[in-house]
Structure 1
């Protein structure tokens, strides 16, 4: 599981967001096994403790399930997946709108930009 890590936020948060995005786009299917913590750490070149922190937090959120020492699997709770999608949309929209407001872009101009660029 590869993705690009940035320096702007903690890596464990980036791992969580990446997995959430893959779940809502069905790149990761409900019930699908995730790589082990060690495999994930090697694949994205981070400390295994960082991956452990991300997995632990996702377990607490209900995004993944881990039974004893078996590999973790993606939740099969469709309502939770819908909520994750909604949360990702709200987060992205909030950041976008804050940036547009910061440079005084009018609502109508934002609508025009979206209509032109969103394909």
Structure 2
């Protein structure tokens, strides 16, 4: 487990985002055990209170659940899991649209360019 932390966002939110990304790409499966708060803090070289805050946020969002005296696990709630992928996608689209809106690119040109770039990047991964 490796996260490159930035200095803009709170560390606990970056940890939450990392877990969301791992869920979205299928690296973390429903019901899968995750490291304890202490293990996570040691692995990532972060304060244990920061790890605790990240886990608390993930529990509140329904991403993980913890039963007394058992390891925390990724939720098995398909509704919550599908929301994670959609949330990450919408966030990326919002950022993209905000950055290109200022240069007044027509939507059809934008869609064409996005399709081309997306196809090229998929071809690069396969080749």
Question: Which stretch of structure 1 is more off in the superposition, 107-116 or 87-96?
Answer: 107-116
Tell me which residue corresponds to 1:99.
99
Q: Residues 11 and 103 of structure 1: is their aligned pair in 2 closer, same or farther, counting only changes over 3 Å?
A: farther
How many residues are aligned here?
A: 119
Report the Cα offset of residue 112 of structure 1: 2.6
RMSD: 1.3
Looking at structure 2, the residues matched to 99 and 117 of structure 1 have their Cα atoms a distance apart, in angstroms, of 16
Looking at structure 1, the residues matched to 42 and 63 of structure 2 have their Cα atoms a distance apart, in angstroms, of 22
Q: TM-score normalised to the size of structure 1?
A: 0.91
Report the Cα offset of residue 104 of structure 1: 3.4
Tell me which residue corresponds to 1:2.
2
Which of structures 1 and 2 has the bigger CA Rg? 2
Task: Describe the superposition over 1:15-50 as per-residue Cα deviations: whole angstroms up to 9, x where unpaired.
Answer: 111101111211001111111111111211211111
Q: TM-score normalised to the size of structure 2?
A: 0.86
SS in 2 for 1:59: helix
Structure 2 residues without counterparts, runs of 5 or longer: 123-127
SS in 2 for 1:70: coil
SS in 2 for 1:76: coil
